[in-house]
Amino acid sequence: MASPAVIVLHPDDEVAVAARHLPAGELLTHAGASATSLRAVEPIPAGHKVARRRIADGERVRKYGSVIGRATYVIEPGAHVHSHNLVNEDLPQEPPSETSPPSLPDLTAWLPPQRTFDGYVRGSGRIGTRNYIAVVSTVNCSASVSHLIARQFNAEALAEFGHVDGVIALTHEGGCGMAYGGGRHRMLARVLAGMLRHPNIAACVLIGLGCEQATADFLVENYGVVPLHGPDGRPLSRGGQAVPIMTMQAEGGTRRAVQRGCELVRELLPEVDRCRREPVGLEHLMLGLECGGSDGYSGITANPAIGIVADLCTAVGGTSILSETPELVGAEHTLAHRARTPAVAKRLYDRINWWRWYTSIFGEHVDHNPSVGNKAGGLTTIAEKSLGAAAKGGATALEEVYEYAEPVKTRGLVIMDTPGFDPASVTGMVAGGANVVLFSTGRGSCFGCKPTPSIKVTTTTDLYERMDEDMDFDAGQVLAGRSLLEVGSDLFRFTIDVASGKKTKSELQGIGDYEFVPWTVGAML
């Protein structure tokens, strides 16, 4: 029997999704459908939408059972529905006064028999999935020094330290030109403090210029960073995760700072190399959920498969972080009604409305988010993109909403307020504690984010095979007939293997040194 031509996601939808390229005249059959006379009246690219019935001018159009926009003129049955005849309709809503947090179905049959992974137990009690040393800049002025230090510790230099995953430089464009203690300063400080205490980082060196606004002292006084040396230069106790702190000006310039930084890293290497993996409960998984380079299949295959992983993670007591707030606009109602309390739902709506205001002050709109690549892949409006993106959150209750890079302490599904830009979004989740990232892609995003492994999940088998050196897991199996539960449970097992040390494709290629991108909001002075 011929494979279905289209995928119908909800019986009330005005549109279906092309399961493959459809030439004009093809019969628009779909799974479970009886014989029909509906045919494509024009070529429909794979992943794009086709009208199931006549749509009136100005009529709202649904996909996933929710509104994704309104027609700009009459659309005939079998016609292509995209940017030429569909626009977003952003309708601000009030948060629900009552919520109904769902109970997960019994997922026992889909859980692995062994409920542990092999992780690094840190002194803080947090669990790492990797074992890095980080050279962290407080300000852009020390970025070159940080990179020069990290480059000294290539594979050859680390050959005798087989249990160290690497030495990485975490640098950024900020650290000055901001109000001391102001909003931008505190956002950056949250990110830096989160990385300094991240369980995938066994030890750090913190480097400043010496005259910046974002001083190391601010981190020490406000964010619990413990300096390794006291004011008199004598070593302090290594209880907790003490951090060596230095400035280029105090060391006497660039060359001496690099020399001293290398000495500090060499002192740390034997201690970090003594770290060993040990079995820990799956409740210590904290997953960052991201989508990048999305297409028309993202909300059908890869994102729902990641949603199964989020539900399985909740079932074992772990945490999943849904992010990219601008890419939840138009889908916020689906999450808000699942919130643990109305107060949690309101916090989500507060962040959504903040983004509407924030984009408006620049003369922009959240609907500007779908990229050229997104649209080429079949996504038309931000509401359509958001409904597919929200599928990464599975079906479990929404427990909490966090600010950007805020330490995540709640189990279950949470939302972190981040931009849709992938490097900035993932940076926030990792700073918040994510020790594994699941990253769905339909167009082929080649993303890594040291120190946290990033699992690339493709929407189609074609992409998985075409970019096999970059992609980790094929969720396109769903289009071939496998159930989401089967594919999602396989992805959960793969995630456990990665948490236990299996290298992702981005790690094998050495990707992830330049994707640390802290987001800050405010004036650059």
pLDDT digits (tens, 9 = 90+) for 461-496: 999 999 999 999 999 999 999 999 999 999 999 999
Identify the DSSP state of 397. P
Residue listed under structure tokens 């690339």: 456
pLDDT class of 29 with cuts at 50, 70, 90:
confident
Q: Are residues 292 and 263 in the same domain?
A: no
Q: Are 375 and 432 in contact (CB under 8 A)?
A: no
Q: Are residues 500 and 370 in the same domain?
A: yes
Q: Are residues 250 and 328 in the same domain?
A: no
Phi, psi (degrees; rounded to nearest 5) at 213: -70, -40
| CATH classification at residue 131 | 3.40.50
Q: Which tokens is 155 given?
A: 């594979």
Is residue 240 predicted with pLDDT exceeding 60? Answer: no
State the amino acid at position 460 in one-letter form.
T
Q: How many domains does the chain have?
A: 3
Q: What is the CA radius of gyration of the chain?
A: 24
How high is the pLDDT of residue 464?
A: 98
State what percent of residues in the chain have pLDDT above 70.
96
Is the backbone of residue 381 left (phi > 0), alpha (psi -120 to 50) or beta? beta
How high is the pLDDT of residue 458?
A: 98
| CATH classification at residue 51 | 2.30.130.110
The residue-averaged pLDDT of 40-59 equals 96
Q: Which residues of 250-285 are buried (b: 16+ CB within 10 A; e: fewer)?
A: ebeeeeebbebbbebbeebbeebbebebeebebbbb
Distance CA 482, CA 461 (A): 12
Q: Are residues 243 and 344 in the same domain?
A: no
The residue-averaged pLDDT of 379-405 equals 96
Helix (H, G, I), strand (E, B) or coil at 185: helix
Domain limit, last residue, from 70, 87, 104: 87
Q: Are 430 and 406 in contact (CB under 8 A)?
A: no
The residue-averaged pLDDT of 213-221 equals 93
Q: Are residues 301 and 258 in the same domain?
A: no
Distance CA 387, CA 153 (A): 44
Domain limit, last residue, from 230, 247, 273: 273
Distance CA 388, CA 377 (A): 13
The residue-averaged pLDDT of 133-156 equals 97
Domain of 180 in residue numbering reads as 124-273
Is residue 34 predicted with pLDDT exceeding 70? Answer: no
- Residue 164 located in a structural domain: yes
pTM to 2 decimal places: 0.94
- Residue 63 located in a structural domain: yes
pLDDT class of 367 with cuts at 50, 70, 90:
confident
Distance CA 260, CA 277 (A): 30
- Residue 99 located in a structural domain: no
How high is the pLDDT of residue 236?
A: 37
Domain limit, last residue, from 87, 108, 133: 87
Give the H or E element holding residue 183: helix 183-196
How high is the pLDDT of residue 123?
A: 85
Is residue 431 predicted with pLDDT exceeding 80? Answer: yes
Angle at which helix 422-432 crosses helix 183-196, to 10 degrees, equals: 60
Q: Are residues 161 and 185 in the same domain?
A: yes
CA 119 to chain CA centroid, nearest Å: 21
Distance CA 428, CA 424 (A): 6
How high is the pLDDT of residue 238?
A: 39
Helix (H, G, I), strand (E, B) or coil at 204: strand
Is residue 228 predicted with pLDDT exceeding 70? Answer: no
How high is the pLDDT of residue 33?
A: 55
How high is the pLDDT of residue 31?
A: 65
Q: Are 451 and 130 in contact (CB under 8 A)?
A: yes
The residue-averaged pLDDT of 211-238 equals 72
Q: Are residues 266 and 291 in the same domain?
A: no
The residue-averaged pLDDT of 106-121 equals 94
- How many other C-beta atoms can be found within 10 angstroms of the C-beta atom of residue 47? 24
- Residue 280 located in a structural domain: no
Phi, psi (degrees; rounded to nearest 5) at 171: -120, 170
Distance CA 286, CA 312 (A): 12
- Residue 98 located in a structural domain: no
Q: Are residues 472 and 501 in the same domain?
A: yes
Task: Single out the residue of 460, 494, 82 nearest to residue 287, CA to CA.
Answer: 494
Q: Are 89 and 67 in contact (CB under 8 A)?
A: yes
State the amino acid at position 354 in one-letter form.
W
Residue listed under structure tokens 């003129």: 73
Q: Are residues 409 and 300 in the same domain?
A: yes
SS3 content of the chain, % helix, strand, coil (to 5): 30, 20, 50
- How many other C-beta atoms can be found within 10 angstroms of the C-beta atom of residue 226? 17
| Residue count of the chain | 525
- Residue 521 located in a structural domain: no
How high is the pLDDT of residue 407?
A: 97
The residue-averaged pLDDT of 515-522 equals 96
Residue 415: beta bridge partners? Answer: 322, 401
Question: Higher confidence at residue 365 or residue 138?
Answer: 138
Q: Are 164 and 271 in contact (CB under 8 A)?
A: no
Q: Where are the beta strands (DSSP E) in 403-447?
A: 412-416, 436-441
Is residue 37 predicted with pLDDT exceeding 80? Answer: no
Helices (H), 19-113: none
- Residue 514 located in a structural domain: no
Distance CA 429, CA 416 (A): 7
Q: Which tokens is 194 given?
A: 């989160």
Q: Are residues 313 and 249 in the same domain?
A: no
How high is the pLDDT of residue 419?
A: 97
Is residue 301 predicted with pLDDT exceeding 80? Answer: yes
- Residue 281 located in a structural domain: no
Q: Which tokens is 261 given?
A: 């930084």
Q: Are residues 316 and 453 in the same domain?
A: yes
Q: What are the tens digits of pLDDT across the range 369-389? A: 788 999 999 999 999 999 999
> Any residues with CB less than 8 A from the CB of 142 and at least 6 apart, and which?
171, 207, 208, 209, 247, 248, 257
Distance CA 128, CA 151 (A): 23
Least confident of 133-147, 227-241, 427-441: 227-241
How high is the pLDDT of residue 195?
A: 97
Q: Are residues 79 and 188 in the same domain?
A: no
Is residue 281 predicted with pLDDT exceeding 60? Answer: yes
